[in-house]
């Protein structure tokens, strides 16, 4: 097993990895350690909150779909396919079929992590070259295992690996958070919006906060007002934010094979394990990270031994 672990990226995946591998005294560094999550942040498994070290609130969420100016607790095939096209650019099975009243855990506090402010400049098997954001000083950090949560193409660049840049397609998401004029609201509700006339694809009433998640731009005030009426609330002051790597656009089957090959090469050549939706360039839920962390733990010792053995053989044959 590794004696030293470094983690690249201090988002949700990085923070969970930092806690999960705490017995190995991990070092975590990131370009920006200002952690925030403006979109809806609910999970199915309470272990996520335990790893992040934040309080959890068990809630019941009512989920419906807005279709042809009416709310439904079951989506038609047309609505499901249109929602998938709107959010993923293709028709996929993972859509809005799971509606009704669901048990979830609300992440109700901000998580923090003591990460080094540094930019990844390069990586080789056994060390990572980083540059301090404040001083500009470059330093090599030795490691046995590197866990990457940064976007896959950024890590491939750091490893000087060749790849087709058209493979990694994405578009930003836009988040509008509004307070509401109605006070003492205690419900948690989500409405999915598949119709293309709206920028918004999902809107959530989280107690006294309205959250609009949209593609293609922020919703205009008229859209916010029109959609808010389905919650019977009146939006007040709004705060906007965006996420550059928001929606990961789908791959073809051949492109998906290439994506997996790049992830495998990072592990076999450099001891880099990819964790999270951006590092694996695959749309996953936060809860999925738990199984992925278990998988990394189970295989990283084997991969380490294999790399040392291959390096020894290469040395013999030189």
Percent of the chain scored above 70 by pLDDT?
90
Residue 149 to residue 240: CA distance in whole angstroms: 25
Q: What is the DSSP letter of 22?
A: G
What predicted TM-score, i.e. pTM, was given to this entire model? 0.84
At 308 the pLDDT is 52
At 171 the pLDDT is 87
At 309 the pLDDT is 46
- Model confidence band, residue 318 (pLDDT cutoffs 50, 70, 90): very low
The alpha carbon of 148 is separated from its chain's Cα centroid by a whole number of angstroms, namely 13
* Backbone phi, psi, residue 203, to 5°: -130, 140
What is the average pLDDT across 277-287? Answer: 91
Which residues are paired to 174 by β-bridges? 214, 242
| Higher per-residue pLDDT: 127 or 306 | 127
Kindly tell me if the per-residue pLDDT of 242 is higher than 50: yes
At 313 the pLDDT is 47
Q: What is the pLDDT of residues 57-99, one digit of tens each?
A: 899 999 999 999 999 999 999 999 999 888 887 887 767 888 9
Q: Which of 288, 280, 200, 217 is nearest to 9 (CA)?
A: 280
Q: What is the pLDDT of residues 115-141, one digit of tens each?
A: 888 888 888 767 888 888 888 888 888
The alpha carbon of 136 is separated from its chain's Cα centroid by a whole number of angstroms, namely 28
At 30 the pLDDT is 87
At 247 the pLDDT is 82
Q: What is the pLDDT of residues 250-281, one digit of tens each?
A: 788 889 999 999 999 999 888 899 999 999 99
| Higher per-residue pLDDT: 247 or 46 | 46
Q: What is the DSSP letter of 23?
A: G
At 39 the pLDDT is 67
Instruction: Transcribe 205-270 into DSSP letters.
Output: EETTEEEEEEESSPPPHHHHHHHHGGGT--EEEEEEEEEEEEEEPPPPHHHHHHHHHHHHHHHHHH
Instruction: Transcribe 134-186 into DSSP letters.
Output: TT--EEEEE-SEEEE-S-HHHHHHHTT----GGGS-EEEEEEEEEEESS-S--
At 317 the pLDDT is 42
- What the chain holds in terms of domains, given with CATH numbers, is 5-35+112-168+250-317 (3.50.50.60), 59-104+170-248 (3.30.9)
What is the average pLDDT across 98-123? Answer: 84
What is the average pLDDT across 92-115? Answer: 82
At 299 the pLDDT is 83
Residue 71 to residue 315: CA distance in whole angstroms: 67
What is the average pLDDT across 231-249? Answer: 88
Neighbouring C-beta atoms of residue 302, cutoff 10 Å: 9
Look over the chain and give the mean of its residue pLDDT values, rounded to a whole number. 86
What is the average pLDDT across 188-204? Answer: 95
Q: What is the DSSP letter of 31?
A: S
Residue 75 to residue 85: CA distance in whole angstroms: 15
Structure tokens at 162: 């060749």
Which residues are paired to 103 by β-bridges? 60
At 316 the pLDDT is 46
Do 46 and 15 meet the contact criterion of CB atoms below 8 Å apart? Answer: no
At 203 the pLDDT is 96
What is the average pLDDT across 276-287? Answer: 91
């Amino acid at each position: 097993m590794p004696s030293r672990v470094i983690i690249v990226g201090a988002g949700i995946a990085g923070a969970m990895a930092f806690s999960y591998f705490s017995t190995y005294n991990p070092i975590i560094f990131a370009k920006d350690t200002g952690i925030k999550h403006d979109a809806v942040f609910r999970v199915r498994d309470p272990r996520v909150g335990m790893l992040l070290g934040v309080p959890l609130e068990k809630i019941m969420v009512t989920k419906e779909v807005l279709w042809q100016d009416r709310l439904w607790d079951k989506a038609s095939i047309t609505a499901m396919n249109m929602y998938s096209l709107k959010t993923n650019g293709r028709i996929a099975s993972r859509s809005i079929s799971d509606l009704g009243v669901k048990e979830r855990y609300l992440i109700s506090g901000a998580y923090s992590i003591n990460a080094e402010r540094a930019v990844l400049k390069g990586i080789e098997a056994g060390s990572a070259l980083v540059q301090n954001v404040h001083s500009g000083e470059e330093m090599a950090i030795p490691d046995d295992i590197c866990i990457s949560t940064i976007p896959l193409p950024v890590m491939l660049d750091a490893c000087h690996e060749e790849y087709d840049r058209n493979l990694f397609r994405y578009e930003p998401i836009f988040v509008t958070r509004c307070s509401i004029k109605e006070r003492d609201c205690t419900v948690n509700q989500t409405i999915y919006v598949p119709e293309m006339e709206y920028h918004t694809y999902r809107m959530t009433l989280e107690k006294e906060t309205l959250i609009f998640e949209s593609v293609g731009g922020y919703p205009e005030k008229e859209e916010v007002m029109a959609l808010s009426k389905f919650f019977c609330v009146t939006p007040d002051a709004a705060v906007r934010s965006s996420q550059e790597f928001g929606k990961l656009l789908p791959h073809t089957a051949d492109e998906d094979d290439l994506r997996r090959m790049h992830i495998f090469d990072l592990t076999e050549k450099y001891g880099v394990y990819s964790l999270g939706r951006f590092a694996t360039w695959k749309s996953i839920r936060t809860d999925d990270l738990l199984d992925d962390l278990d998988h990394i733990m189970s295989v990283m010792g084997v991969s380490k031994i294999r790399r040392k053995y291959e390096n020894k053989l290469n040395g013999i044959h030189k």
